[in-house]
Amino acid sequence: MISTLLSRLQRGPDGAPAPRLAFGADYNPEQWPREVWEEDVRLMREAGVNIVSVAIFSWARIQPGPDTWDFAWLDEVMDLLHENGIGVDLATATASPPPWLTTAHPEILPVTDRGEAVWPGARQHWRPTSPVFREHALRLVRAMATRYAGHPALVAWHVSNELGCHNVYDYSDDAARAFRAWLRTRHTTLDALNHAWGTAFWSQRYSDWDQILPPRLAASHPNPTQQLDFKRFSSDALKEHLRAEREILRELTPDVPVTTNFMVMPGTKGMNYADWAAEVDFVANDHYVVPGPRERDELSFSANLTSGIAGGRPWFLMEHSTSAVNWQPVNLAKRPGELARDSLTHVAHGADAVCFFQWRQSAAGAEKYHSAMVPHAGADSDLFRAVTALGDTLKALAPVAGSEREPAEVGILFDWESWWASEQDSHPTSLLDYHREALEWYSALLSLGIRADVVPTGADLSRHQVLIAPVLHLVPAELAKDLTRYAEQGGHLVTTYFSGVVDEHDHVWLGGYPGALRELLGIRVEEFGPLPAGRTVELDDATTGGLWTDRITATSPETEVLARYRTGVHAGRPAVTRRPTGAGSAAYVSTRLGVDGLASLLPRLLEPAGVSSELPAEVRGLVEATVRRGPEGRFLFLVNRTDDAVSVPGVTGEALLGTIGADGAVALGPRDVAVLRLPSS
């Protein structure tokens, strides 16, 4: 648990009396001469750093050859950190195999779908399913755990690093063998697999398990269920690696919590983190801002989803950046205030740790232009001063540590299976972007000042009065039942085009769309109406739709039409519907309205649930509000999303960060964050 970790952070000579938020970075001392280490720990203390992640890419240094080990330098690092009151999140060091290993065993290198080897030269060039890699990696894990069990600096284990960042899809022969074993477990018999994969199509019927391959480069669209199962398998294969390392750590150091850093951030889709969360003792995440018009919303969305994956419990921000990264086409420096605001937005969504990649900016290597806590310019820099100020802020926020997120009335369902399935090839449109769809609903809610929780499938739906499930494409019978029960028992479900269309095998629910949700929604669609890029249609409520339309027939006398198409081939037909059912309702939005259109529609969708903004009207959209609650109280976070000063009136409580004026207003400067402990009443 993260509470174990936070309490372990008190063990150093600087141990604080109460749990506090963790603050730190990846620390790579092996890149620097010994004398720099002394300056490092001095500056860490100055900045208020209390945890660092060590040895993430240290395999080649720790084990320079198959039977040679060099722990002396790491012993010294661990001791030095401990002497300075800094805890260590110690990596198992297996993230990137050393040259001696890939030279001796090139069969551990991943293979692309075209059969090309992925060569060493960067990092993470290993097959998740390679027995040879696994053996060497676990030997290293055992050596690390044996060496550092009982070391007083050790507060947590960090398995590998960003599992699947570069190697999630491997099409090698090892992968083929492991895929077959995985398929046997999932489908049991070859007949069941042939049915699930629809192999009656295109003469694909298998008569022996050994005929089955990963979806390698093929003449046309590979079998869609084969593709979907391969995505599931690939996520599971990495999860298996996580488990294998974790089992050794639990055996040798049962009291030390184990985590690995997830990548809930734009562009990462391959790992089903909702499914991985139960494998770690606390959820840790890495997040990097990708600049763009919705970057602020996206950061909040990812932090929010991480909290959802963690079941609302506190989580650990393992990496983000103090300023620019090095891997975007143009790498923008953060503006004044953004370092703190980005960090505190994560805390607002339940992070109990704020860590960065990395402590000291590298002088050499592929990431030398990636920002760090100590930049190339050194400690005499605005960046290091901002880092130190953030350290002070996090100390002031100590009472927040350990608190959970308070559930919001609105939930947005985020489902990896639907993400994977809805974006496969040979579909009605290739323009659909599942993540963007979910983010647009979230942005619309933010713009209205309405709190929402982003939650994975499997979370307790009944916590939310309104549940928005954008493009819930893959709906097994059980999920359809859950959603029906949710609505009948008083929940208000909102879903969209291309939802309810297929089952868990990617087989279409027959009889008309939206298949599994047709009865619940009280509508029927006979044919999809995707729109060419740039084409739009007008609705009679003055909103504009794009991407998709549906020719909807209402099939239930209760089905209400909230908006109709005004233009396009479906002019006059329903565009947005709602069917009351039991104590709740089920609504359907058949076209992509964009953030502004959704913001205009949402009040009508929320109205039956009685949900409205908790924020004063003048700051809605300008300020994001979240609430955490725990034994130390309820905490309101107010994040100024804008570059202008904003005043939030009518606030009561004790300011942990910021000030409440005599007029009862919290004045937020550009990009400022305030945190208030709310009165207990």
Q: Report DSSP state, residue 60.
A: H
For position 89 contacting ligand GLA by CB under 6 A, the verdict is: no
Question: Do 180 and 212 touch, CB atoms closer than 8 A?
Answer: yes
Using CA atoms, how far apart are residues 554 and 512, in angstroms rounded to an integer? 12
Task: Output b/e per residue, 89-123; b: 16+ Cβ within 10 A.
Answer: bbbbbbbbbbeebbeebebbbbbeeeeeebebeeb
Give the residue, chosen from 370, 405, 579, 671, that forms a contact with ligand GLA under the rule CB under 6 A.
370
Using CA atoms, how far apart are residues 155 and 352, in angstroms rounded to an integer? 14
For position 596 contacting ligand GLA by CB under 6 A, the verdict is: no
**Between residues 174 and 286, which has the closer beta carbon with respect to ligand GLA?**
286
Task: Output b/e per residue, 410-423; b: 16+ Cβ within 10 A.
Answer: bbbbbbbbbbbbbb
For position 84 contacting ligand GLA by CB under 6 A, the verdict is: no
User: What is the full DSSP assignment across 215-252?
Assistant: --S-SSPPPHHHHHHHHHHHHHHHHHHHHHHHHHHHHH
**247 is an active site residue:** no
Give the residue, chosen from 30, 113, 367, 632, that forms a contact with ligand GLA under the rule CB under 6 A.
367
Name the region of 212 (left: φ>0; alpha: ψ -120 to 50; beta: rest): beta
For position 286 contacting ligand GLA by CB under 6 A, the verdict is: yes
Q: CB of 625: closest distance to ligand GLA in angstroms?
A: 29
Give the residue, chosen from 40, 162, 352, 453, that forms a contact with ligand GLA under the rule CB under 6 A.
162
Residues with Cβ within 8 Å of residue 268, at least 6 apart in sequence: 164, 165
Give the residue, chosen from 230, 233, 356, 357, that forms a contact with ligand GLA under the rule CB under 6 A.
357
By DSSP bridging, strand 404-405 and strand 452-456 are unpaired
Strand ranges for 202-334 from DSSP E: 258-259, 261-262, 284-286, 315-319
**How far, CA to CA in Å, does 524 sit from each of 93, 511, 513, 593?**
54, 9, 6, 20
For position 503 contacting ligand GLA by CB under 6 A, the verdict is: no
For position 353 contacting ligand GLA by CB under 6 A, the verdict is: no
Q: CB of 161: closest distance to ligand GLA in angstroms?
A: 5
**Between residues 178 and 355, which has the closer beta carbon with respect to ligand GLA?**
355
Pick the catalytic residue from 245, 247, 295, 319: 319
Give the residue, chosen from 196, 289, 325, 344, that forms a contact with ligand GLA under the rule CB under 6 A.
325
Instruction: At 148, list the tokens.
Output: 């550092």
Question: Do 513 and 550 touch, CB atoms closer than 8 A?
Answer: yes
Q: CB of 202: closest distance to ligand GLA in angstroms?
A: 8
Using CA atoms, how far apart are residues 478 and 504, in angstroms rounded to an integer? 10
User: What single-letter amino acid sits at 116?
Assistant: E
Using CA atoms, how far apart are residues 131 and 144, in angstroms rounded to an integer? 20
Q: CB of 319: closest distance to ligand GLA in angstroms?
A: 5
**Between residues 267 and 534, which has the closer beta carbon with respect to ligand GLA?**
267
For position 342 contacting ligand GLA by CB under 6 A, the verdict is: no
State the number of binding residues for ligand GLA (CB under 6 A): 9
For position 40 contacting ligand GLA by CB under 6 A, the verdict is: no
**519 is an active site residue:** no
Q: How many CB atoms lie within 10 A of CB 473?
A: 28
Question: Which has the closest alpha carbon to 532: 557, 549, 515?
Answer: 549
Give the residue, chosen from 169, 171, 288, 419, that forms a contact with ligand GLA under the rule CB under 6 A.
288
Q: CB of 88: closest distance to ligand GLA in angstroms?
A: 17
For position 161 contacting ligand GLA by CB under 6 A, the verdict is: yes
**Between residues 23 and 288, which has the closer beta carbon with respect to ligand GLA?**
288
Binding mask 548-567 toward ligand GLA (x if CB under 6 A, else -) reads --------------------
For position 406 contacting ligand GLA by CB under 6 A, the verdict is: no
For position 22 contacting ligand GLA by CB under 6 A, the verdict is: no
For position 101 contacting ligand GLA by CB under 6 A, the verdict is: no
Q: CB of 303: closest distance to ligand GLA in angstroms?
A: 15
Q: CB of 291: closest distance to ligand GLA in angstroms?
A: 14
Helix (H) or strand (E) holding 26: strand 22-27
Catalytic residue numbers, as ranges: 162, 319
Site residues for ligand GLA per CB under 6 A: 161-162, 286, 288, 319, 325, 357, 367, 370
